[in-house]
Amino acid sequence: MTKPVKSPGSEPTADSAAAPGQGETLLKVSGLKKHFPIHKGLFKRQVGAVQAVDGIDFEVRAGETLGVVGESGCGKSTMGRLITRLLEPTAGSIEFEGRDITHLGVSGMRPLRRDVQMIFQDPYSSLNPRHTVGAIVSAPFKLQGVQPEGGVKKEVQRLLGVVGLSPEHYNRYPHEFSGGQRQRIGIARALALSPKLVVADEPVSALDVSIQAQVVNLLDDLQEELGLTYVIIAHDLSVIRHVSDRIAVMYLGKIVELTDRQSLYNTPMHPYTKALMSAVPVPDPRRKAADSRERILLQGDVPSPMNPPSGCRFHTRCWKATEVCKTKEPPLIPLATGHNVACHHPENAPDQEPGDTELLSEAATAKR
Ligand SMILES: Nc1ncnc2c1ncn2[C@@H]1O[C@H](COP(=O)(O)OP(=O)(O)O)[C@@H](O)[C@H]1O
Ligand code: SF4
Ligand SMILES: [Mg+2]
């Protein structure tokens, strides 16, 4: 991709003048939690909770793409549904354009529903099979009572063109389209009301690998043209590595590393990030030969978020884990400028607990 690297916080250029406040904070999340209660027995007593998102802090800057990555079950979709306010948070706060939206009611949320849109993972189940493409893409106008200039039909046909479909598709039904085309319909619907923030939850995971790049490139092109801000969620780095300005790595309901794309790739600090990166296939055989990175296999599954491990949640799978990792939770702190990491024994940075050197017995077998 030839996209120039955007520098968040830089002065707005003539090109970006249409989107005021480029680089400024659009969304700010503090201490955000979502615990799903688990009820059992005749009296539906609460016996525990799934700690799907357990205290995360981050911001999204206007005009950027924040990638969010982590294995399945780490809480990525829950995070996406919290920041789009499809789910009610258990704790913490969400600010959009400086306004606290954490607990807004239905009427307070109405204007926000225009500004924040979501693209879902599964283009098969997220489009109503009984509705025409025209009905699907025009639904947001009806819901919000918005009358576009030139009429809804004309605007929907324009949107279909924008996402690379034909205006003639207006009267067709979702089943007549391929997965990639359906995801384009989902994108057209998300863009209908000119949102400021688009949260895309694994937008290409359900698509053929050959189609994935096309849809990611479309999202990227639309961002440039429309001045959009993205949060793009993915379960591996291959999909988002080219389009993200910054990347947050999630593990078991926490953000464990958050930095710009370049430093994540050049100097990953969290062992989990390193393991995720070594799992990404290198497509170019010449680069593979030159790629001297160690291969780290992540063993076992993600532990249950109902009963997460003590201390650092990654300690049961980490090859660097020591006693302190079991007992003390590492805080997410900057270990280099703009590079936040939650680890006692990071890579590419000074050890935060140099006195604690004896590996846990599990750790010794974790690295291959
Ligand atoms: N509505 C729900 N009720 C109970 N548990 C849920 C609910 N939604 C998600 N979870 C649980 O929360 C955890 C995180 O899920 P999710 O956010 O979907 O992760 P990801 O998108 O990273 O795969 C999982 O253990 C999942 O089973
Ligand atoms: S804190 Fe310890 S267990 Fe957690 S990632 Fe760092 S070294 Fe591994
Ligand atoms: Mg998910």
Among 34, 36, 68, 304, the mutation site with the greatest number of ligand 1 atoms within 8 A of its Cβ is 36
CA 79 / ligand 3 centre spacing (Å): 9
Query: What are the tens digits of pLDDT across the range 276-295?
Result: 988 655 555 555 544 445 66
* CA 78 to centroid of ligand 1, rounded, Å: 6
318 close to ligand 2 (CB < 6 Angstrom): yes
pLDDT at 32 over 70: yes
Query: What are the tokens at 331?
Result: 């805080």
Which residues, in sequence order, are bridge partners of residue 25?
A: 61
Whole-number mean pLDDT of the chain?
Answer: 89
CA of 319 relative to ligand 2 center, distance in Å: 8
CB distance 337 to 329 below 8 Å: no
Residue 281 Cα to ligand 2 midpoint, Å, equals 24
pLDDT of the residue at 6: 45
Main-chain phi, psi angles of 300, to 5 degrees: 70, 180
Q: What is the mean pLDDT of residues 336-346?
A: 98
- ∠ CA(92), CA(244), CA(109), 5° rounding? 40
Given the CA of residue 319, which atom of ligand 2 is nearest to it?
A: 8
Q: What pairing do the DSSP bridges indicate for beta strands 254-260 and 339-341? A: antiparallel
For residue 298 the two structure tokens come to 């992540």
The CA 202 to ligand 3 mean position distance, Å, reads: 7
Mean pLDDT of all residues in 73-81: 97
Does residue 257 carry a pLDDT above 90? Answer: yes
Ligand 1: which of 32, 50, 68 to mutate, judged by most atoms within 8 Å of the beta carbon? 50
Ligand 1 atom with the smallest distance to the CA of 81 is 17
Question: Which string of b and e fits 262-280 if b means at least 16 CB within 10 Å?
Answer: ebbeeebbbbbbbbbbbee
| Residue 74 alpha carbon, nearest atom of ligand 1 | 22
Could you tell me the distance, in angstroms and rounded to a whole number, from the CA of residue 321 to the centre of ligand 2?
Answer: 5
pLDDT of residue 5: 43
Please, where are the H alpha helices in 280-322? 285-290
Residues 194, 200, 206, 212, CA torsion sign? positive
208-232 per-position pLDDT tens digit: 988 999 999 999 999 999 999 999 9
Tell me how far CA of residue 168 lies from CA of 72, 161, 164, 171, 286, in angstroms: 38, 10, 12, 7, 45
Full-model pTM: 0.90
Using the structure block, give the residue that is written with the tokens 């961002």: 223
Beta bridge partners of 250: 255
Closest alpha carbon to 70 in 82, 80, 60: 80
The rounded Å distance from CA 302 to ligand 1 centre is: 12
The CA 81 to ligand 3 mean position distance, Å, reads: 10
If you take atom 6 of ligand 1, which residue's CA is the nearest one?
36
Quickly list DSSP for 49-99.
Answer: EEEEEEEEEEEEETT-EEEEE--TTSSHHHHHHHHTTSS--SEEEEEETTE
Nearest CA to ligand 2 atom 3: 315
Q: Is 341 in the pocket of ligand 2 (CB under 6 A)?
A: no
Q: Is 137 helix (H, G, I), strand (E, B) or coil?
A: helix
Sequence-ordered list of residues with C-beta below 8 angstroms from that of 30, at least 6 positions apart, any chain: 57, 92, 93, 95
The residue ranges of every structural domain in the chain are: 23-37+49-244, 279-364
Query: What SS3 class is residue 170?
Result: helix
Amino acid at 181: Q
Q: 32-36, 106-110, 212-216, 311-315 — which is least confidently predicted?
A: 106-110
β 25-40/45-61 pair status: antiparallel
> What's the gap in Å between 243 CA and the centre of ligand 2?
28
Report which residue type is found at 16: S
The alpha carbon of 196 is separated from its chain's Cα centroid by a whole number of angstroms, namely: 16
Ligand nearest to the CA of 48: 1
Instruction: For residues 229-241, give the mean pLDDT.
Output: 92
Is the minimum distance from the CB of 344 to ligand 2 under 6 angstroms?
yes
CATH class of 23-37+49-244: alpha beta
Ligand 2 binding pocket includes 314 (Cβ within 6 Å): yes
Please count the CA atoms within 13 angstroms of the CA of 156 that sit on its side-chain side: 23
Transcribe 201-252 into DSSP letters.
ESTTTTS-HHHHHHHHHHHHHHHHHHT-EEEEEESSHHHHTTT-SEEEEEET
Atom of ligand 1 nearest to the CA of 306: 25
Model pLDDT, residue 3: 45
What is the distance between the alpha carbons of residues 11 and 21, in angstroms, rounded to a whole number? Answer: 9
Cα separation, 25 vs 234, in Å, equals 22
Q: What percent of the chain has pLDDT over 70?
A: 89
Q: Which residue minimizes the CA distance to atom 5 of ligand 1?
A: 36
Give the tens place of pLDDT for each residue, 269-279.
999 999 998 86
CA angle 4, 269, 25 (to 5 degrees): 50
